[in-house]
Structure 1
């Protein structure tokens, strides 16, 4: 079948904001630092070099050494950890929630994107080093968003109560999830690998952060992926000045609100709060609100005066957690980062933040939309060929696709455009007559024109519906193959787990992703398995 290029802009699965960003529309250019081109990375390297303290590197490496203390790492990962001390080393970062067993497929695509871009940058800028980073969202508290994954069309869920940061959550109860997952797996080496991977990740670690670190390291350690947990005392110490500024001046609230009018034609992703910090303990993550001269912890009895909360910040910085508005700033303070790779929703909120970065004198990273992928089996390819479908077809909305194919397959034309044009010409003559006689006749002519055109529309729709019944078998095959490639009429990468494909294809799945994904090309990657 034709190997169509499906750009992100033409795929129909990205918001107007992201499409306009990819098209580099002039009205958005104040919202980002540099567009992701290979040439622009040279300028980004220069700017970050001048704006990242060497002492931050030392603290970062020390913190990561502690985080990796109980995990076996590859020589490549060890080398990358050491390279982070070097002023010529920079990171390429993606972030993701601690989804159970990686969650949807796009988690894998994010990681491959950062690794592949780091390799491309090393080729283009050989005097520098580039380290791929996965930032674990350990401080999130949206447990219901991460406590499941889909496998073979079934939802495999971890049923547990959670109120605090998910990274600190105890892994008790995952034995039940393991048994359910294991029972769905078949036989063979790939299935056995998945069983052992789940078991070692979740049943041999006591909290979700450690489990996720182990899992991501096992999948990508040979590529030197560095996994960062921001819920760390050493790293939070670096953020104290910025958290203090947030508490006292509410800088992010002011700056983001100044930016939002530029985005008013779009759906704004997130709105800032007056204070964009949470207060966290093992079983608590609540907003800090300023009321009546005191800093109160929402939904609790905790309250601090200004001096008390600043003392708490100095003594216990791990108790302060940035929200979605401030987390990007925290990330860029502690990492020598050049580029953030994320999904459309993530980039949408990053585009609100540049002015806040400038107010805090922190370099704003290049924003790159992650790779998106459609995986198709050989049998699916054969079916598409047999049905005369190309990739542009299957990306269409199902109703539009079925209407289009019904008209193509039909032995006669299901299009009354010619009849409508003829009818309009006839009514033009009637309008001429009406204008020469009784002006009130014009209204009657117009009403009749509308009625007859509507009648033709109705006949066209009825004819299309009748032909769909005649072509039912073939059209059902189209619906079946599209539903298989786009489960629940959504992107495959948002529904399926990597285990759906790893069970059949093993390491070939990961290796083909490394081979095919090109981070700086804004096109859907369609991969045959």
Structure 2
């Protein structure tokens, strides 16, 4: 599968500069984006630092149990067996669980992990296995309880999980009943067009959701269906059994909290000195750890030797917090700054796949890695794609549109095209009639005002009503022209909704089910096989 490279707008200058190897950004990271240059050095460091990570056999034992439940495939268990081998390494990446996997970029991130692991193994000539972690510890329910699919007219429709969750518990701990799944799947069935793939796809996702009591499990099972044959290992960051393995790491984070906080503040200072906006909050009193209290995930601070949340619901001395960790490790979780340290304390990571926002906030963490006795891994931008279907490619050619036209100039181009279709020039004609009306009417107003002052007010009101009527006619004239060209305008809107729905890149809105329903699953493996470079380039591909 070959794509055409096209620039895609980004919201992070720091990430863009890292990808373009600008010196200011490069100084904040351990390795260069030309990752092949750093692979052997990273592998050598991993050999020397085996003692800094969780025991491989204990990790593999946990992974077997979790994957047997949600990702039970021979290729996956083979990957776990390889991970136990001496000098076996990992390429990893992750994402919070989302309804029906959420936007397309989640699929691209998982594909990136697999593709990079294969390429790293080829370069290093040692086992490198792909691991995808699910950020089930995140608690922003409103961010993950919906997704988008196009309706038969091509307009985007929100598919939402029924029910309102008002708490702040981890997404993995929010129970979802079958009736809620069923309502969601009914929406999906209604929106997906009939294809040869639809019956099997609906059957598969129905079985998955019948077996899942929370969003993270359903997410994991769909990812499993799409990637199990590649040997992709899954792990849920909110799993209580994983927390038991992580307990010693959390203990170190608590005992070294002051020095870690100093390291994060130093990282923030370096980012500011390099001229970049702050990618994540680094609080002066931040402990950078969450504690779950009565179903509420609380961010802890450290002040006057007490670990507290900002609302004052909990308060611990260090000794008491360590005791709480020993008894209830499942109540602890990382924030965005300590999560990278936890990841590298669990897994022998050669490289990590990140989105641009993640690359930016990782720029805050290098000093914390060093303080914790670790080294920042190689950072690779995830693969990025826009799927261009044949119908939209033909319409873009018909109207003379490039990808960049669609990204930045579509409305302007559409209005210009529409104006060219008519000899009747709406703007010119209605501007002229307004000018002529005012030329004739204004002298009349002046004359009647001399007869009686009250006539001036009546005349002004009358003039306003006439302007309203002219505007009314102008609107209906424009609509008549649009109706005349309705088919063509549907083509324009179809291009917009397919490539930049809701004004955003396709990969950040569209759900994979639409393309799985239309093209099956083979295109995902083709993406993986065609991807060996990770330079942050965006590809426009045709299926």
Q: TM-score range by the shorter chain?
A: 0.7 to 0.9
Label 1:196 to 1:288 Cα distance change in 2 as closer, same or farther (>3 A): same
Query: Partner residue of 1:109?
Result: 108
Label 1:71 to 1:330 Cα distance change in 2 as closer, same or farther (>3 A): same
Label 1:257 to 1:22 Cα distance change in 2 as closer, same or farther (>3 A): closer
Within the candidate set 168, 188, 200, 1:193 is matched to 200
Query: C-alpha separation between the residues in 1 aligned to 2:517 and 2:160?
Result: 19
2:84 is equivalent to residue 73 of structure 1 = no
3-state SS of paired residue (2:30)? coil
2:235 is equivalent to residue 228 of structure 1 = yes
Query: Partner residue of 1:205?
Result: 212
CA contact (8 A) 1:63 1:234 kept: no
3-state SS of paired residue (1:160)? coil
Within the candidate set 327, 351, 355, 2:339 is matched to 327
Query: Partner residue of 2:501?
Result: 487
Within the candidate set 156, 159, 174, 1:156 is matched to 159
Query: Partner residue of 2:388?
Result: 376
CA contact (8 A) 2:381 2:535 kept: no
Query: C-alpha separation between the residues in 1 aligned to 2:294 and 2:353?
Result: 29
Within the candidate set 166, 170, 176, 1:171 is matched to 176
Superposed displacement of residue 105, structure 1: 0.4
3-state SS of paired residue (1:18)? helix
CA contact (8 A) 1:105 1:498 kept: yes
Query: Partner residue of 2:121?
Result: 122
Query: C-alpha separation between the residues in 1 aligned to 2:158 and 2:76?
Result: 34
Label 1:511 to 1:298 Cα distance change in 2 as closer, same or farther (>3 A): same
Query: C-alpha separation between the residues in 2 aligned to 1:360 and 1:407?
Result: 64
CA contact (8 A) 1:253 1:272 kept: yes
Query: C-alpha separation between the residues in 1 aligned to 2:309 and 2:535?
Result: 45
Label 1:371 to 1:350 Cα distance change in 2 as closer, same or farther (>3 A): same
CA contact (8 A) 1:278 1:323 kept: yes
Label 1:397 to 1:276 Cα distance change in 2 as closer, same or farther (>3 A): farther
Query: Partner residue of 2:92?
Result: 93
CA contact (8 A) 1:91 1:335 kept: yes
Query: Partner residue of 2:267?
Result: 256
3-state SS of paired residue (2:113)? helix
2:518 is equivalent to residue 520 of structure 1 = no
Once the two structures are superposed, residues 46-91 of structure 1 have per-residue CA deviations (whole angstroms, 9 ceiling, x without a partner) of: 1222223375222211221221243452222111101111222111
Query: Partner residue of 2:50?
Result: 52
Query: C-alpha separation between the residues in 2 aligned to 1:384 and 1:93?
Result: 37
- Map 1:22-37 → 2, pairs under 5 A: 22-37=19-34
Query: C-alpha separation between the residues in 2 aligned to 1:361 and 1:193?
Result: 49
Within the candidate set 327, 330, 354, 1:342 is matched to 354
Query: C-alpha separation between the residues in 2 aligned to 1:3 and 1:210?
Result: 33
Query: C-alpha separation between the residues in 2 aligned to 1:475 and 1:205?
Result: 42
CA contact (8 A) 1:201 1:212 kept: no
Query: Partner residue of 1:279?
Result: 291
3-state SS of paired residue (1:11)? coil
Superposed displacement of residue 32, structure 1: 0.9
Label 1:100 to 1:519 Cα distance change in 2 as closer, same or farther (>3 A): farther
Q: Structure 1: any 5+ residue segments left out of the alignment? A: 411-468
Label 1:216 to 1:484 Cα distance change in 2 as closer, same or farther (>3 A): closer
Within the candidate set 513, 535, 539, 1:499 is matched to 513
Query: C-alpha separation between the residues in 2 aligned to 1:475 and 1:35?
Result: 46
Label 1:482 to 1:396 Cα distance change in 2 as closer, same or farther (>3 A): same
CA contact (8 A) 2:272 2:278 kept: no
Query: Partner residue of 1:237?
Result: 247
Query: Partner residue of 1:133?
Result: 131
Number of residue equivalences? 466
CA contact (8 A) 2:3 2:542 kept: no
Superposed displacement of residue 483, structure 1: 4.2
Superposed displacement of residue 195, structure 1: 1.8
Label 1:122 to 1:254 Cα distance change in 2 as closer, same or farther (>3 A): same
Query: C-alpha separation between the residues in 2 aligned to 1:241 and 1:3?
Result: 47
Query: C-alpha separation between the residues in 2 aligned to 1:216 and 1:145?
Result: 19
TM-score of the two chains, using structure 1 as the length reference: 0.80
Query: Partner residue of 2:439?
Result: none
2:280 is equivalent to residue 266 of structure 1 = no
Once the two structures are superposed, residues 429-476 of structure 1 have per-residue CA deviations (whole angstroms, 9 ceiling, x without a partner) of: xxxxxxxxxxxxxxxxxxxxxxxxxxxxxxxxxxxxxxxx99x96898
CA contact (8 A) 1:246 1:252 kept: no
CA contact (8 A) 2:353 2:380 kept: yes
Label 1:257 to 1:102 Cα distance change in 2 as closer, same or farther (>3 A): same
CA contact (8 A) 2:21 2:33 kept: no
Within the candidate set 375, 389, 394, 1:363 is matched to 375
Cα RMSD, aligned residues only: 3.0
CA contact (8 A) 1:97 1:137 kept: yes
Superposed displacement of residue 29, structure 1: 2.0
TM-score of the two chains, using structure 2 as the length reference: 0.78
